[in-house]
Amino acid sequence: MNVMITGGAGFIGSNIALELQDKGYDTVVLDDFSSGNFKNLLGYEGDVVSDSILDVDLDRFKDIDAIFHEAAITDTTVSNQKLMMQINTEGFRRLLDFSVENDIKFIYASSAATYGDAESPQKEEYAGRPNNIYGFSKWICDCMAKKYMEKYPDSHIVGLRYFNVFGPREQYKGKMASMVWQLAKQMVEGKNPRIFKWGEQKRDQVYVKNIVQINLLALDAKESCIVNAGSGNAVSFNHIIEVLNDVLGFDYEPEYIDNPYEEFYQDFTQADLTNAKKYLDYEPKWNFEDGVKDYVEWLKENRYI
């Protein structure tokens, strides 16, 4: 099978690309390297096309069997609404059109940001009231995908609403990297880990290997769908620090700070995985604690901490 990974030099895209390569797929990465990093692809031996999803000549990829669409602006603090919509939504539209026209499987990254302040655990039908332009851009992609699923019932379209993903190759995301990475880095540097008062905010922290798992399962989806991609469990910020202390051998106390994003901050996220199990047979292989241990080993082996 020939597959393309857009945003393949980014965090999740590179993990997908390397796993597909290991499984024997013929792969091509499409990335403009505006936020991705070549170091994420060390060990990758497939093709790399450096171009924007808005401008690339898609006709050159007509022999592709599946597209994993990960390319997007993922910085939720970006306030340039036009830029966010152009990249995330119009770029998505181009690739979706191309996939349907050429009978290519289309698997794409949606986001739990589409839920806004919806009650937890979040079920797919709760989406539609995002708190920021990032979440809105992803919500419009989901709406577009649903219409295509109805209009083209023989198409293969799968949207995956990522929750809080952590793991190898996220270190180039800067301030948008996971709490696990941010807090581990602070602790290794000898600092007390800083979290918002009073650390009881809970997020569905999902290890990136689970996200790679659900993406590969989406290739054999029973039907087109949009489902949650998380761990199914909520983890408090205080618990993250407890686990990191245990894994890293530290005994740091958290430093509590005011939350400057309180107006649009999601205090509690947890993925309801009922539909992910129903349509994709997805059951996360990694729990939070084991994921952190595996991640820290990788960080040490690659000298990031």
Helices (H), the chain: 11-22, 81-85, 91-101, 133-151, 179-188, 208-218, 237-248, 274-280, 288-301
CB 111, CB 161: distance < 8 Å:
yes
Which residues make Cβ contacts (< 8 Å) with residue 60, sequence separation at least 6? none
Active site residue 173: yes
- Catalytic choice (138, 173, 202, 209): 173
What's CA 240's distance to the chain center, in Å? 19
Distances (CA, A) of 250 to 123, 184, 247: 37, 10, 8
Helices (H), 160-236: 179-188, 208-218
- Catalytic choice (115, 134, 282, 295): 134
Extract the tokens encoding 109.
Answer: 């990254």
Residue with tokens 């379209």: 157
Extract the tokens encoding 196.
Answer: 């918002």
Q: How many CB atoms lie within 10 A of CB 163?
A: 25
Kindly compute the dihedral angle of the four CA atoms of residues 183, 188, 191, 197, in this order, to the nearest 10 degrees: 20
Cα of first residue to Cα of last residue in the chain, in angstroms, is: 37
Q: How many CB atoms lie within 10 A of CB 302?
A: 13
Helices (H), 106-197: 133-151, 179-188
Extract the tokens encoding 108.
Answer: 């794409």
Catalytic residues: 134, 173
